[in-house]
């Protein structure tokens, strides 16, 4: 006669014996739990899928499979800096243009240089360029169309971006993720392609995710 199954809940609350068996690391979770979290793009779960697949394919234990995963992770990060470059470039251009706008509007020597090289309008007499506000009033004659048009262009781009987000479209970001996952699958064809792709896509551009056990 077999004993009854241990009680898991009492009065709608978990029992002590039940919670003692709660997994505290991804390595201790069941295959079903790992697959569920991997579909949610949890990096540790995606890693665990690859590790367990390596164990089966290579017929090795967990620690040896983890060493193979570390090589896979290194391969996945190859070319990551180049993939992130457009984002760094956009951020750099925006910061540079933003800070450069101050001297181009309010700094007398910069305004005079810019006018001489690119505008060639007659500036007010020196006595009308003695303060930052007077310099700004003079430079605004040509800076207003530039800054105004750029502002309108960025407003249109921001609205367009919001519509792309509503549609779930991120052209370059999705393209570089798909490209990176294809390269990883090509580098390790012996392992499950979906596991490799899931891990590759959840890896961050700037720095690798700090994995918990």
Half-sphere CA count of 24, side-chain side, radius 13 A: 3
How far apart are alpha carbons 92 and 97 in whole angstroms? 8
How far apart are alpha carbons 149 and 156 in whole angstroms? 11
Q: Who contacts 129 (Cβ-Cβ below 8 Å, separation ≥6)?
A: 108, 123, 135, 138
129-188 confidence digits (pLDDT tens): 999 999 999 999 999 999 999 999 999 999 999 999 999 898 999 999 999 999 999 999
32-87 confidence digits (pLDDT tens): 999 999 999 999 999 999 999 999 999 999 999 999 999 999 999 999 999 999 99
> pTM of the full predicted structure?
0.79
**3-state SS, residue 64:** helix
Q: Between β-strands 13-14 and 9-10, what pairing exists: parallel, antiparallel or unpaired?
A: antiparallel
- The alpha carbon torsion through 38, 43, 47, 52 (nearest 10 deg) reads -30
């Amino acid at each position: 006669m077999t004993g009854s199954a241990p009680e898991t809940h009492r009065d709608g609350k978990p029992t002590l014996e039940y919670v003692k068996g709660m997994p505290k690391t991804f390595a201790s979770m069941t295959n079903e739990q790992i697959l569920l979290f991997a579909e949610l793009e949890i990096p540790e779960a995606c890693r665990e899928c690859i590790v367990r697949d390596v164990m089966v394919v290579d017929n090795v234990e967990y620690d040896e499979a983890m060493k193979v995963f570390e090589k896979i992770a290194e391969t996945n990060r190859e070319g990551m800096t180049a993939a992130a470059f457009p984002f760094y470039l956009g951020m750099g251009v925006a910061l540079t243009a933003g800070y450069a706008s101050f001297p181009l509007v309010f700094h007398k020597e910069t305004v005079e240089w810019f006018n001489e090289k690119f505008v060639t309008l007659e500036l007010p007499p020196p006595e009308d360029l003695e303060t930052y506000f007077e310099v700004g009033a003079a430079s605004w004659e040509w800076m207003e169309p530039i800054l105004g048009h750029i502002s309108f262009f960025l407003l249109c781009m921001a609205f367009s971006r919001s519509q792309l987000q509503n549609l779930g479209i991120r052209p370059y970001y999705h393209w570089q993720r798909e490209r990176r996952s294809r390269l990883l699958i090509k580098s390790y064809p012996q392992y499950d392609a979906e596991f490799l792709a899931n891990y590759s896509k959840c890896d961050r551009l700037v720095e690798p995710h700090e994995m918990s056990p």
